[in-house]
Amino acid sequence: AQSVTQLGSHVSVSEGALVLLRCNYSSSVPPYLFWYVQYPNQGLQLLLKYTTGATLVKGINGFEAEFKKSETSFHLTKPSAHMSDAAEYFCAVSEFIIQGAQKLVFGQGTRLTINP
Amino acid sequence: DAGVTQSPTHLIKTRGQQVTLRCSPKSGHDTVSWYQQALGQGPQFIFQYYEEEERQRGNFPDRFSGHQFPNYSSELNVNALLLGDSALYLCASSFGDRDYQPQHFGDGTRLSIL
């Protein structure tokens, strides 16, 4: 079964600094990988996804992630943090149920705090 | 374009009661998945419905059951509520036969058990 490990339950950076949120996955097949963001009292919003093709994936709000098969990693980055980036971030991997059906396996989440 | 909608937004129940949560998928989606998110944790898969049938179930007891209607909307039912059932319940929708498409989530129902 697939699994996801997010290193660091809480990350704090200064406004304008680089954001790096770490995600490692375990999968027996080529994975589909996702990053979701959750703002307080809201559901999950998709930031970006990797399915096939280019390993550097660009998402919304200036975020990007790089799929590294050799390291089984899918770290999320943003060059310059903004106060509005403060939220909980979840990395997820698809686990296929049957053809065309998938369920998501999530990491425990990383809470990102931005210091002014 | 309406996204995934869930109702109610908040619910308070006592132990032993039963609860029904509702979800309307994003327009054009035909598959609904339910997740439980306990405080400080990532979401955990409960089950998925497609063509009005349960396609897969996660590691949840039979107290958790569901239904999908012909219009693709779905309900999650939980019987004999326990304190540990307190959580945010998230509904996600997607296309059933397109395995590269991401799931879209609603804002959830916050269930509190007293």
Which pLDDT band, with edges at 50, 70 and 90, does B98 fall under? low
Question: What's the confidence (pLDDT) of residue A2?
Answer: 85
Does A51 or B46 have the greater pLDDT score?
Answer: B46
Average pLDDT, rounded, for chain B: 93
| Beta carbons of A101 and B105 less than 8 Å apart | no
Mean pLDDT across A53-79:
94
- Cβ A6 vs Cβ A108: under 8 Å: yes
Q: Residues A92, A112, B25, CA angle at the centre, nearest 5°?
A: 45
Question: What's the confidence (pLDDT) of residue A36?
Answer: 97
What's the start-to-end Cα distance of chain B, in Å? 37
CA dihedral angle for residue A72, residue A64, residue A110, residue A38, rounded to 10 degrees:
-130
pLDDT at A94 over 90: no
Residue type, B32: V
B96 touching chain A per CB within 8 A: yes
Mean pLDDT across A53-81:
94
Which residues in chain B are closer than 8 Å to A52, comparing Cβ atoms? Answer: 100
Which pLDDT band, with edges at 50, 70 and 90, does B1 fall under? low
Residues in chain B: 114
The whole-angstrom distance between B12's CA and the closest CA on chain A is 16
Which residues in chain B are closer than 8 Å to A111, comparing Cβ atoms? Answer: none
pLDDT at A22 over 90: yes
pLDDT at A1 over 90: no
Which pLDDT band, with edges at 50, 70 and 90, does A99 fall under? low
Locate tokens 């698809």: which residue? Answer: A94
3-state secondary structure of B13: strand
CA dihedral angle for residue B68, residue B10, residue B60, residue A103, rounded to 10 degrees:
60
The percentage of residues in chain B with a pLDDT greater than 70, rounded to a whole number, is: 95
Contacts of A9 (CB under 8 A, 6+ apart): A108, A109, A110, A111
CA dihedral angle for residue B92, residue B45, residue B79, residue B7, rounded to 10 degrees:
-20
pLDDT at B16 over 70: yes
- Dihedral sign, CA of B32, B94, A105, A45? negative
DSSP string, B33-51: EEEEE-TTS--EEEEEEET
Question: What's the confidence (pLDDT) of residue B97?
Answer: 63
Beta bridge partners of B57: B47
Which residues in chain B are closer than 8 Å to A107, comparing Cβ atoms? Answer: 42
Q: A with B: how many residue pairs have Cβ under 8 Å apart?
A: 73
Does B77 or B55 have the greater pLDDT score?
Answer: B77
How many Å apart are CA A39 and CA A51, to the nearest integer? Answer: 25
